[in-house]
Each structure stands twice: as C-alpha cells, then as structure tokens.
A and B are shown apart, each in its own frame.
Chain A
Amino acid sequence: MIYDVCIIGSGAGAAPIAYELSKAGHKVVVLEKGEFYTEKDFSKDEIAVCRRDMYTPDLQDEQHVINERNHDGVITRYEGAKNNWSFWNGSMVGGSSNLMSGYFHRMKPNDFRLKSEYGEIKGANVVDWPITYDDLELYYDKVERVIGVSGEVVKHKFLEPRSSSQFPYKRLNVNSVTKWFDSTCRELGYESIPTPRAILSEKALDREGCSYSNFCGSYGCSTGAKGSARAALLQKCPAKIISNAFVYKLDSNADTVQKAHYYDKNKKSHTIKAKIFVLAAQAIESSRLLLNSKNSYFKNGLANNSAQVGKNLIFSAGGVGQGRIRFENLNEEQKVELMQVGLFFNRSLQAWYDYTKKARVYKGGTIDFLFEHSNIISKAIREFYKDSKLIWGKQLQEKMIKNITTSRVLTFEVFNDWLPTDYCNVTIDDKVKDKYGVAVGAINLYSHPQDVKVGKYLAKKAKVVLEKMGAEDIYVNISQAPPPNLVAGGCRFGDNPKNSVLDVNCKAHELKNLYVTDGSFMPTGGSVPYTWTIYANSFRVADVILDVLKG
C-alpha cells in the first residue's frame, strides 16, 4: 500500500497535518515511537509521572550525548545515561503537548523580523523569517478555535494584531491572589495580562472542560480539556496511527523520499511507502533522523547537501524565580484566598518585549507568573535544607509543615530569545547507540552571552513584583541551562538553499516530497513558548500539502 502522506511523529507539528489531510479524504499514516495513551490512562500519580518519568524513554535505552561549550571554547562531553541528563519530553501519541502546561502566547510581528528590527548581533545567526506575522495570523486564530485556547484579550503595549476580537473560550477561573497581583502591577505601572491557555474552560469541541484538578504541567489531562495534539486532533480524525513505531531511516533517490523504515516494540523492522513524507519528531530527533538517513545521493544525510541540517538549534532562554507568601503577613480572608487550590494564576507581563538600554533597543521577552506546582513530594524535598545545611528530624518536620501549610510559593518563568549560533546544533555521536542499535543524536550546546543578560533584565522586573507583593525568600535563577521542553531549530526555513534546509512552505529544498513541521523550521524562536506557533505553522503547511495533493 502507498499512503498519500506518512507523518513521523505525532505532536503539535504533526497532528494538524494528519487532521486536515485525513479529514479531506487522503490516506494518512502517523508513526509514533511512544505508547497510545488516552484520557482514561491518565492519573495524577506523582511517583509514576515525575519521580519515575513514565512518559519518557529510559536513558539506558535511549539517550543523547551532550557536548557543552563554555564561553572560553572548552567543550565537555556528557553521555545522557551516565549523567542522568535527559532531553526527552512526552514519548507518546500527541507528544509533549500531552504534558504541556499550555501557556499560549503568539509570537509578535517583530519576532518575524528580528534582524531587520534589532540588527545584527555579533556571534549570532539572527535572520528574518521568510514569512510575516500576517501570513501566520489566520492560523494562530485557527488554533484558538480548533485546539481550544481560553483567555481574555486585554489591550497592552505589545498586543499583537488579531483577526478576532476575543478568544473563543472564556478565561479559566483564577485564584484570588491574582487580584493582589493586578493591584501591585497597577501601582508599579505594569500591564498585567491574563495568560491565554490551551485549556478549555468549559465543555466544547467534543471535549470536557477543565476539572481544576490542580495538576497540569507534566501530567496527561484526563478530561481532554488540555489542547494536546492527541485530544484536539488525532482522536478526531481518520488518520491511521501506529504507536511504538520508531522510524530509524528514510530512503530516497535523488529528489524523492520513497520509504520510511521503522522498528516496532519487538525491534522488528517495517516499511511504509507514501507520496509525501512529513517529519515532525521534535527538533533534535528530526535532525538526527535526517543525518542518520545517508545514501548515495545524500552522503551527509538526507536534505543535507548544503550541510545545514542540525544547525542553529535553539532553546528558550531565560529561567525562573520565586517568592514565598506567608500567613504572617496576611489577614484571615487573605489566608483563605492564598490557599485556594485548583484555580489557576494565569498572569503574564510583556511590557519589556523590547526595551531600550543605553540608547540601544534590545529584544526582551515574556514573564509568566504561576503558583508552585502542586507535586507534594517535590515540595517536601525542597524543605531539606536550611541555611545551606541538610536538616532532618524535628527540625525538618517543623519547617516542612510550616512552609507547606501556612505559605505558598509564587513563581515566575522568563522566556527570551535563545540566539542561534554556530556552536549550538545537532550532530550524530557514532560512539553511543540506542536500544535499536542506531547512533544517537549529539546536542552541541552553547548559549550566546546576550541570552543571560536579557533574561536577568526581565527577572529584575519580575522580582520587583514579588517584593511589592510582600513575598519572602525571593530566589532568581537565570542561567544558560537549556530547557529540554522548549527546543526548536535545526532545519530552519528560508529562501536561500545555501543557508536553510527548508523552503518557505517547510518543504526540503533538495527533495520534492519531504516536509519538516515540528519546531525545527524556526530560524529564531520569539520570546514565548513555541507550541502555539508550531501548531499554527503546521496548519499552514497542511493547506500547502492539500494543494499539492489536489495537483
């Protein structure tokens, strides 16, 4: 059998293609290396999900090699399994979108024109995108309606242009502490923005609304309210989904991909033929598959005759901070408000999406505020130290009970551009093989010095809010550490085949029928989480492929 479309991966970059094309009557097959879990399989089991990492591969079976480069050019090699350093996210149908928190921000018009708007940055490969915000706006809007984004549009300095005036789904219920936050922001002259979420606030789209169970990030959603690629798209379309199918090689001739080879869970090899292949296995793994698919026409890897595959890998720069709001500083009513569980915080600041310092305009970013995750084992473990010393016994018990029952930690996350550089990319490490005997991906890590500078600038602004709210024990950590769940690049799209892998439609320059639609296509990442943009772009490419199949 020859399928019309074979899609490798099933997350936010893959599912819109499967959804649109299969619903249009095309024969679509999705190859996903993980399990096919559905709502009934999900529970809030902290031990399974967060302590034993049930949704990501065991590093002994599958890992990455990380070559970390510091600013002096010294490279340190880490094998993921030996160093317990994982870059895996959700290995399951729907991918990591099952486990996301669903903080959804659109990229801004300036994000598409980073080089034109903010100029060259020494040591960074900053470029403009080959499309504009206007080209993607209708697809951002489509994501709001089809995936389900809830929120409330409020005017602010960096509100992006919208074709619809409001979100299609009303905002989620929030904790009363957001009133204190809003009031503090007003006093500071900051614009507090309700954070849009890819979570349905009420029953819609044949899915249940949020049950406010208070466990969102890292966990699968048992109501279907979260807009995962599986719940929102794959479970609603006739695409054939083959789970436990690890694609290890794509075969091609000089200009056409012909077959995908995959191993099933018993390591038995199978082959799929299709007219069009769509690769969306998450940025690092998509580059790895192309680089591992060498043949006589593509001696350096598929679509890699210009040696661009794997280049310009990006993460989200920034970091986190937190402060503790204690009962001692509150009245009785406020104490009750603080401890309301299940309700969201959902507040963001984007006032410094760009900012001027010493007469130069810098690209800034987004700050999301949220309560500390409800994982109780993690909360308890965080109490193990006092004045940098390990404590136990009554001293630990007293601290744990007091902190957890009479205070709450408000946290923030900073998102700013991880500048693309020559030193941050994906290659293959031939010395380490996975359980299938396939060479693993090497992540060559480097963070441009400006990434941390911008992150620190934003964190200072966030810290002021926590201080003004009366939070104590304020702690900020802005670093070069790459967040494994916020990764993109490696197969950037562009007009010039010499410095990009994909054309404007995310089709490989060198192949007639290969598209890459996960975050790999992004030449720069914007200063927001990537998922909404990946969804929107995948819907855009779906329209392109529909036209191609129409002939």
Chain B
Amino acid sequence: MNLLTRRRFLQNSFLSSVIILTCGDELFGAVNISQTFFILHKDLFPSSSFIPNVEFINANIYLNKIFSHSRIKDKEKKFIRNGVRWLNEEAIKIYNKKYINLDNLKRQRILNHIATTNWGESWLNSIMMYMMEAMLGDPIYGGNEGALGWKLLNHKAGEPRPKKAYL
C-alpha cells in the first residue's frame, strides 16, 4: 500500500472516525474510536500475571480490516460507534472527563457501571468478541501475532490454514 492510499485508508477507516461528545446539551469535546479502543482493550484484557504481554493481539490492526467486511453491517458498526460515545459521556457525566482521560480505577468503575445496563453489557460483550477474534483468529487477519493466542490456550489450529483472509 503506498503512502497516499494508506493515509486515505486510515482517514476513511471506521476506527479513525471522530465522535462528538456532549454533556447535557453542551458540546464537551471529541474522541475517535481508535483512541477509546486503545485504552479500553487494555482495560478489558490487560497484560497480567496470566498473560504477561497482550501486545500480540494487535486488536486495532485486526479491527481496521474486519470493520470494512461486508458481513459486518452498518447497524452493528453504528452500535459500536454509539457505545464509544455513551461510554465517554458516562465518564463525563460522573467525572467530568472523557473515559480515555480517567485513571485506571475510575475507568473500571465506569465499566462496572455500564455492565449493569442492557446496552453496556451488550456493547462490552461485542467489543470483547472482536478482541477474541483478533487474539485467536488466524494470524493472516493481522491479529494473533506469532500465533501466541493459540499457544496461550494450547490450541492446535486446524489444517489446512487459510491462505488468504476472507474480507
């Protein structure tokens, strides 16, 4: 991909789209999906004593590809996008800060709070499903670098593996 088309790809990609945030009726600021996911993914699936380094998941690389898939419908993408807005606005409502600007403890409080709501539980479930796809799908999709996700779970991949991603 040359530089120009790569820039255009990033500009046009779902993850880089900007979301306007409000507090009550007033404009509060803006955030993009990618910024939120960068923090959120680590909150949901952090490096830990169980998994020392989660960088191999490459969730954003995977999601950039998969969110342009024809089988992922606008309705689903709209829900993901709205969820990013609602998550940040919930943080603004409670802490007067965007989710991405909160400290870890406060972000976890926000997650625990939205998980008790129907939209929040459903949205977090969706986000985590895509993370599992990134972590445990074939590395040809850009996630699961070095097949470390499979190694972590002692998973033996089925053969033959795909020669190209289905996008």
| A residues near B166, Cβ cutoff 8 Å | 45, 47-48, 52, 54
B132 interface residue (CB < 8 Å to A)? yes
A271 interface residue (CB < 8 Å to B)? no
Contact A52-B69, Cβ < 8 Å, known A47-B166, A377-B136, A405-B153: yes
Contact A377-B132, Cβ < 8 Å, known A45-B166, A211-B159: yes
Q: Are A377 and B133 in contact (CB under 8 A)?
A: yes
CA distance A392 to B121 in the complex (A): 11
| A residues near B115, Cβ cutoff 8 Å | 389-390
Closest A-chain residue to B166, C-beta based? A48
Chain B proximity of A408: nearest CB distance (Å):
11
CA distance A342 to B111 in the complex (A): 39
Q: Are A384 and B137 in contact (CB under 8 A)?
A: no
Q: Are B128 and A43 in contact (CB under 8 A)?
A: no
CA distance A510 to B165 in the complex (A): 49
Chain B 126-158: CB-based contact to A (< 8 A → 1; otherwise 0): 001100110111100100000001101111111
| A residues near B71, Cβ cutoff 8 Å | 52-53, 58
| A residues near B132, Cβ cutoff 8 Å | 377, 380-381
B49 interface residue (CB < 8 Å to A)? yes
| B residues near A342, Cβ cutoff 8 Å | 156
Closest B-chain residue to A397, C-beta based? B50
A305 interface residue (CB < 8 Å to B)? no
A185 interface residue (CB < 8 Å to B)? no
Chain A 378-409: CB-based contact to B (< 8 A → 1; otherwise 0): 01110010000110111011101100110000
Q: Are B160 and A404 in contact (CB under 8 A)?
A: no
Q: Are A43 and B163 in contact (CB under 8 A)?
A: yes
Among A393, A401, A404, contact of B44 (Cβ-Cβ < 8 Å)? A393
Q: Are B162 and A398 in contact (CB under 8 A)?
A: no
Q: Are A384 and B125 in contact (CB under 8 A)?
A: yes
Q: Are A60 and B162 in contact (CB under 8 A)?
A: no
| A residues near B158, Cβ cutoff 8 Å | 43-44, 213-215, 219, 374
Chain B 17-47: CB-based contact to A (< 8 A → 1; otherwise 0): 0000000000000000000000000011110
CA distance A52 to B125 in the complex (A): 17
Contact A376-B163, Cβ < 8 Å, known A47-B141, A392-B44: no
Interface size class of B (residues with CB under 8 A): 35 or more
Contact A45-B152, Cβ < 8 Å, known A380-B136, A392-B44: no
| A residues near B111, Cβ cutoff 8 Å | 392
Closest B-chain residue to A39, C-beta based? B160
CA distance A222 to B132 in the complex (A): 26
Chain B proximity of A404: nearest CB distance (Å):
5
B73 interface residue (CB < 8 Å to A)? yes
| A residues near B121, Cβ cutoff 8 Å | 390
Chain B proximity of A52: nearest CB distance (Å):
4
CA distance A377 to B137 in the complex (A): 7
Chain A 393-428: CB-based contact to B (< 8 A → 1; otherwise 0): 110111011001100000000000000000000000
CA distance A415 to B135 in the complex (A): 35
A268 interface residue (CB < 8 Å to B)? no
| A residues near B110, Cβ cutoff 8 Å | none
Q: Are B156 and A214 in contact (CB under 8 A)?
A: yes
CA distance A42 to B161 in the complex (A): 9
CA distance A381 to B129 in the complex (A): 6
B102 interface residue (CB < 8 Å to A)? no
CA distance A272 to B136 in the complex (A): 46
A188 interface residue (CB < 8 Å to B)? no
Chain A proximity of B137: nearest CB distance (Å):
4
Q: Are B133 and A376 in contact (CB under 8 A)?
A: no
| B residues near A389, Cβ cutoff 8 Å | 115
CA distance A213 to B158 in the complex (A): 5
Chain A proximity of B134: nearest CB distance (Å):
10
Q: Are A376 and B159 in contact (CB under 8 A)?
A: no
Contact A45-B128, Cβ < 8 Å, known A51-B133, A397-B45: no
B70 interface residue (CB < 8 Å to A)? yes
Closest B-chain residue to A42, C-beta based? B160
Q: Are B138 and A47 in contact (CB under 8 A)?
A: yes
B2 interface residue (CB < 8 Å to A)? no
A543 interface residue (CB < 8 Å to B)? no
Chain B proximity of A168: nearest CB distance (Å):
27
Q: Are B153 and A380 in contact (CB under 8 A)?
A: yes
Q: Can you name 8 A-B pairs with beta carbons within 8 Å?
A: A44-B157, A47-B165, A58-B71, A214-B158, A377-B136, A379-B153, A392-B111, A394-B46
The 3 closest A-B pairs by CB, nearest first: A44-B158, A48-B166, A215-B158
